[in-house]
Amino acid sequence: MKFSKTAFLKDVFFSALASYGGPEAHYGVFSNSLVDRGGYLTEEELTEFIGLFSLVPGPGSTQTITAIGYKVGGPLLALLTFLVWALPAILIMGAVGVFFTEVTAREGWEALLTYLPPLAVSFMVYAAVKMTGKVLSQGGDGKNRLLYGAMVPLSWWLVGRTMWAVPLLLIAGGITPLAFQGPVPRGEGMDHRPRWWILGLVVALAVAAELLSREFQHPLLGLFSSFYSYGYSVIGGGQIVIPLMIQDLVRSQSLLSLSDFLSGYAIDQAIPGPLFSFASFVGARSLAGSGYGFLGGIISALGIFLPGILLVYFIFPIWRASRELTAVRRFLKGVSVTAAALVTMTALSQVLALPRDPVGYGVLILGTAALYSKRVPAPLLVPAAMVLGLLL
């Protein structure tokens, strides 16, 4: 079947509509919509992307879906993929930041959130089972199973203790096959030079934003500088950046109250798409009453997403040029196994963290079953869960 960029972007948009609950849940949506239904990439390639972009700063699920766009259609489609995926949530959260008082005054919106958490966990369970089945069915003389069996309890113990746990586990998982699968054949070489100028651009923008914000002390420059620094310094995605925002924007700069911050974060859970879109709310709310509110939200979102998207353009060509090399293939295999273990650990921990509610468990079970049946499109599950929350 002939590839259609329009059809692909439509699938990306529907994936955005169904993506709640953070990166691990998003990966379940990608697996269902872009692997199983769309056939744009294999489960192995998806798992490799997940592992790779868990190693670098930025929003992991946004980088992953942008890289998928790069794979199927090149650099321009990658940019369009990012915009279709992230822009709706950015605009919505920016508007919420501007009209925050009216939004929070409306009774009943919290009910929409009631059964979104168990539905999000169903996407995590789906992703965990799919990835685990894929990485463990690819041979390795039992070594993959041993690595997976070791990484699940290790990640359970380490993740949450330090923000460096995830990248360190992924690196350890990638190195393990190199150490235990014999020497790497000589004579292999990568036929691609890394685009180091992209890394130089990331650094140059960081320096320029910091210097300009200090020189001119304009609120928009200050917001861009702060959010750009979050974008290049955070490994682990949206959940990790929240405490940094609280410390900097609430406690140090006093741009908004903790109550406003947490209320906006709760609203963000009802908005599909990347968690980094929360930056749009925080930026808009920080400049409330200044005349720059909505523009501040857009500038903040641009700042936090920009470093991670630039890193996609740096990493993807290297991945494509080098993944057939023996050493790289072994490293990626270990990273993929570890990524599957991390997603499995997250799914298990989130199942255990759900409230003891029979209806919530029912949503979890039915949501997982619907995903496996492939008869119900993922975007339809989300409004169904919202309606259930309003009814009950």
Q: What is the mean pLDDT of the chain?
A: 83
- Residue 140 belongs to what H/E stretch? none
For residue range 21-69, what is the model confidence (pLDDT) as tens digits? 677 778 888 988 999 888 999 988 998 898 888 888 888 889 999 999 9
Q: 124, 350 in Cβ contact below 8 A?
A: yes
As a whole number, mean pLDDT of residues 86-91 equals: 92
| Surface-to-core class of residue 51, CB atoms within 10 Å of its CB (0-12 exposed, 13-18 middle, 19+ buried) | buried
What residues are paired with 159 via a beta bridge?
162
Full-model pTM: 0.80
Give, in order, the Cα–Cα distances in Å from 270 to each of 115, 118, 278, 383: 10, 13, 11, 10
Contact 109, 263 (CB under 8 A): no
Q: What percent of the chain has pLDDT over 70?
A: 89
Mean pLDDT of 227-235: 83
pLDDT on residue 232 = 84
* pLDDT value at residue 166: 77
Neighbouring-strand partners of residue 58: 235
How would you label 356-369 residue by residue, b for 16+ Cβ within 10 Å and e otherwise?
Answer: eeeebeebbebbbe
Q: With beta carbons less than 8 A apart as the criterion, state whether 147 and 338 touch.
A: yes
The answer to whether residues 163 and 151 touch, using CB atoms and an 8 Å cutoff, is: no
Structure tokens at 208: 């320029």
Spatial distance between the Cα atoms of 392 and 387, rounded to a whole number of angstroms: 9
- Which pLDDT value is given to residue 337? 86
Total residue count of the chain as it appears in this document: 392
Residues 6 or more apart whose CB falls under 8 angstroms from that of 93 comprise 264, 267, 268, 271, 277, 278, 279, 280, 281, 284, 297, 301
